[in-house]
């Protein structure tokens, strides 16, 4: 099985997971059958929100799953359609994530609890669908392990 982890750098097992799959500077690929790691630079890391297409670059590797700290509902559904599972990393360090992966200790991310996007302005944090927080214009929105605060009016969503 070939697992893909979005990472901050190219340090392999010592690296840490990047918070946004499509914007990750690198992807750490782990082949569980061979026990090998391959680092792939994300050539599309700098993009406008909603325009990332990391799978265009990753399709040639035939990955079986993505292990990340959060992902949008549409991305999860698109990957699922292609037979690619999406798991919650549960840790920050790649070596710890892979230990859990090898022990079958990761849980799939439920599309209903996926991230819904990024805030406008300075804080690009994810916000879960079920948070009930407002969506007004502001400086980031919290969620997915972040505690940003949106500024402005907006209707809560549950």
pTM of the model: 0.71
- What is the helix (H) or strand (E) element at residue 98, kind and residue range? helix 94-102
pLDDT tens digit at each of 158 positions of the chain = 999 999 999 999 999 999 888 889 999 999 999 999 999 999 876 645 554 556 777 889 999 999 999 888 888 998 999 999 999 999 999 999 999 999 999 999 988 877 755 433 333 344 444 444 444 443 333 444 443 334 444 445 44
Q: Give the model's pLDDT for residue 15.
A: 97
**The tokens of 1 are what?**
């099985």
Domain boundaries, the chain: 2-111, 120-152
Buried b (16+ CB within 10 A) or exposed e, 30-62: beeeeeebeebebeebeeeeeebebbeebeeee
Q: Given CATH 3.20.20.70, say whether it is the number of domain 2-111.
A: no
On whether the CB atoms of residues 101 and 32 are closer than 8 A, the answer is yes
């Amino acid at each position: 099985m070939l697992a893909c982890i979005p990472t901050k750098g190219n340090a392999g097992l010592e690296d840490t997971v990047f918070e946004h799959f499509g914007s990750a500077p690198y992807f750490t690929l782990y082949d569980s059958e061979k026990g090998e790691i391959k680092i792939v630079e994300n050539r599309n890391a700098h993009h406008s929100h909603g325009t990332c297409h990391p799978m265009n670059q990753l399709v040639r590797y035939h990955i079986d799953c993505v292990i990340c700290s959060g992902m949008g509902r549409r991305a999860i559904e698109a990957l699922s359609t292609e037979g690619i599972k999406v798991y919650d990393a549960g840790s920050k360090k790649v070596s710890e994530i892979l230990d859990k992966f090898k022990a079958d200790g990761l849980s799939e991310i439920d599309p209903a609890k996926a991230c819904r996007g990024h805030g406008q302005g300075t804080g690009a944090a994810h916000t879960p669908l079920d948070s009930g927080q407002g969506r007004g214009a502001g400086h980031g929105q919290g969620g997915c392990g972040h505690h940003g605060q949106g500024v402005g009016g907006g209707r809560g969503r549950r």
